[in-house]
Amino acid sequence: MKVLILGGAGMIGRKLAQRLASDGALSGKAIAKLTLHDVVPPVAPAGARMPISLATGDLPAPGEAERLIAERPHVVFHLAAIVSGEAEQDFDKGYRINLDGTRCLLEAIRKAGYKPRLVFASSIAVFGAPFPDAIGDEFFATPLTSYGTQKSIGELLVSDYSRKGFVDGISMRLPTICIRPGAPNKAASGFFSNIMREPLAGKEALLPVSESVMHWHASPRAAVGFMLHAAALDLARLGWRRALTMPGLAVTVGEQIAALRKVAGDAVAARIRRVPDAFVEAIVAGWPRAFAPRRALELGFRADSSFEEIIRIHIEDELGGAIA
């Protein structure tokens, strides 16, 4: 089978590629070729057991999606997106990549006249406050960002193209990915990862909100697990409701810190410095805290078992097992 990852240079794209390269198979079938595409040059995963093709280009540019689909990949992971903050700042760019790009992909598939599996990475940003304490599967999408709007539109398109028989698609609303590797970023949500990653690396981290703030998390490893499960699932079980909220862990910042103390000790947890920031606190107050993702659980999607596990995954996958 041939596999295409759009957004193959991104954090999840790279981890998914590495996993597929190591496994050598997807849904029980050997991968004959793995293509990574992104707007910046993707990097081939180490130790791949199959040919890797690296492609750089602009998804909504004329002919780009057609070229990628011409190889008739059996599974397409569509992770390419302008992230939330940038889509909010650059309205045209967000719509061009996140809406037009997705539509170009779907049209290319429709015109190619075959029906690949499409796994579309959506986001809990499709939801906008106010919401219940735990958001159920039938709660409406009222995004408060252009990014969330574009993801919600992508979900609708994936469902309609699936219903019409043009593609076999599923949209997965990913939790906030924690612990996000790499340097601290300026995203308002960055602190959820920063306060874990930086102390584990021997550095100080700033906590801008109170410890009572609750949020919905999944590890990068869990997110890759969702992708693999979505690629293998019999989507007829979903009917035409092809967008699913993925399971995650609803934990407070206080619980995150307690887990860090338990896994890495008091000295590491002491590297978190509390610097309340009313601006960040106000933004975060508008975010979902928890979900009741009954459908995804029934379909076999599995979250991390605890926040301690999320921390251990980071130590194993990013720090080679060692805490600073």
**Cis before residue 5, ω within 30 degrees of 0?**
no
Give me 71's structure tokens: 């190889």
Which among 95, 114, 147, 161 is annotated as catalytic?
147
> What minimum distance in Å lies between the beta carbon of 70 and a second copy?
21
Between 41 and 239, name the residue whose CB sits nearer to a second copy: 239
Please give the Cα distance from 36 to 43 (Å, whole number): 8
- Residue ranges in contact with a second copy by CB under 8 A: 91, 128, 137-144, 146, 149, 152-153, 156-157, 159-160, 163-164, 240-241, 243
Two tokens at 244? 């699913």
Rg over alpha carbons for the chain, rounded to the nearest Å, is 19
C-alpha 22: how far from its chain's center? 20
Q: Which is nearer to a second copy, 163 or 294 (CB)?
A: 163
Q: For residues 244 and 170, is the Cβ–Cβ distance under 8 A? A: yes
What pairs with residue 210 in β-bridges?
none
Nearer to a second copy, 149 or 193 (CB): 149
E strand or H helix that includes residue 298: helix 294-298
Is 181 buried (19+), middle (13-18) or exposed (0-12) by CB count in 10 A?
Answer: middle
CA distance 194 to 203: 10
Nearer to a second copy, 164 or 274 (CB): 164
Pick the closer one to a second copy by CB: 72 or 241: 241
CA 144 – CA 135 distance, rounded (Å): 16
Based on the residue annotation, tell me whether 147 is a catalytic residue of this protein: yes
| Active-site annotation, residues | 147
